[in-house]
Amino acid sequence: MVAITNNVYTLVNRKSNGDTNVVLDIYQGRRANGTPSHIWAETDTQDIFNQQWLLKEVDGKPDVYTLRNLRTGTYLDLSNGSSANGTQVQGWSSAEGSAYASNQQWKITTDGTYYRLQNVSGKTYLDLLGNATTNGTKVHGWAKANVETQDWLLRRVSRTGTEIRAILAKNPYIGKDFKSYLQDGLYDFLSFTNSCLRYTYLLVVLPKTVRDSVYNGTGLRTTTWRPDIFDCDDFAFVSKGEVARWGNSFLGADGVAILWGVMFGTNGQSGHAYNWYLNKELDSIMFFEPQNGQESTNIGYNGFFAIF
């Protein structure tokens, strides 16, 4: 068994449509209960979050997971938990603690490469209508069969704070005495007070089209730099805040933060503040200048402190 950690994944169907991967998606990113799931070609627009799923192992049930869509906040659900072939797989609000909880629980097994998802209630497997792989093909439950459409790749698209710190440590433009502080993350609230315990944290990265769109809406490109009153750190924190505002409006799932950090760096006697995040492959740092919207792998400063 290949271990599946609680993380954010895309699910790529084995029977892809030509050279284009087709992935598990929620129809138009709609949050209404009963919205059908389907497959769609991978995208690099804001609709990418229709295709990202937060997997969380169910307490006391090894290898059984819930899948929560990042865009909608709804859970992958087998309609009425029915065992009938062709039963719709859909988005539905959380059924945790109810008699219908098992409709949203999926036992995940693997042959070492591909994964199969079997619904705990209906005992059927996540499959594609008519074995098709065209955009919009419905996803449904079907009895176990020797078909590629029941096989899925799980591609992890989130990183933990620990992993991000390790990536920061390898960057050549980070100083030897660099310090970082995790501001955003995944929280487990213990009560209705303000007390909380941070036990783990997951972060995802915005695709470039979304980064550009959010930045263009900030007005920072035409904002005048002023000493003390609105200087480089203000640009960086406003940029970070606007990304958080966008995420609060657009993403329906809790438990995941958008990686858009603020870093302070020096170059000789000069200091600067700027933003940073991970590249598309999630394995190296990209720097972002919030005063003009330019991103680079070398911003010209060596970082000594960052928050994210």
What one-letter code names the amino acid at 185? G
Q: Which CATH number fits domain 159-307: 3.40.50.720, 3.30.460.70, 1.10.3720.10, 3.40.50.970?
A: 3.30.460.70
Q: What is the 3-state secondary structure (H, E, C) of 172-236?
A: CCEEEEEEEECCCCEEEECCCCCCEEEEECEEECCCHHHHHHHHHCCCHHHCCCECCCECHHHHH
What one-letter code names the amino acid at 37? S
pTM of the model: 0.91
Predicted pLDDT of residue 187 = 32
Predicted pLDDT of residue 20 = 78
CA 254/CA 35 separation, integer angstroms: 19
Predicted pLDDT of residue 222 = 98
Domains 8-156 and 159-307 share a fold: no
Tokens 């797989």, located at residue: 89
Predicted pLDDT of residue 18 = 67
Q: What confidence tens digit (pLDDT) does each residue in 35-88 have?
A: 999 999 999 999 999 999 999 999 999 999 999 999 999 999 999 999 999 999
The architecture in CATH of the region 8-156 reads: Trefoil (2.80)
Which residue ranges of the chain lie beneath pLDDT 50?
185-199
CA 106/CA 54 separation, integer angstroms: 13
CA 288/CA 278 separation, integer angstroms: 11
Give the Å distances, CA to CA, from 25 to 80, 103, 307: 20, 18, 32
Predicted pLDDT of residue 3 = 76
Q: Which residues pair with 26 in a beta bridge?
A: 37
Domain-by-domain residue ranges, the chain? 8-156, 159-307
Phi, psi of 258 (to 5 degrees): -90, 125
Predicted pLDDT of residue 176 = 80
Predicted pLDDT of residue 186 = 37
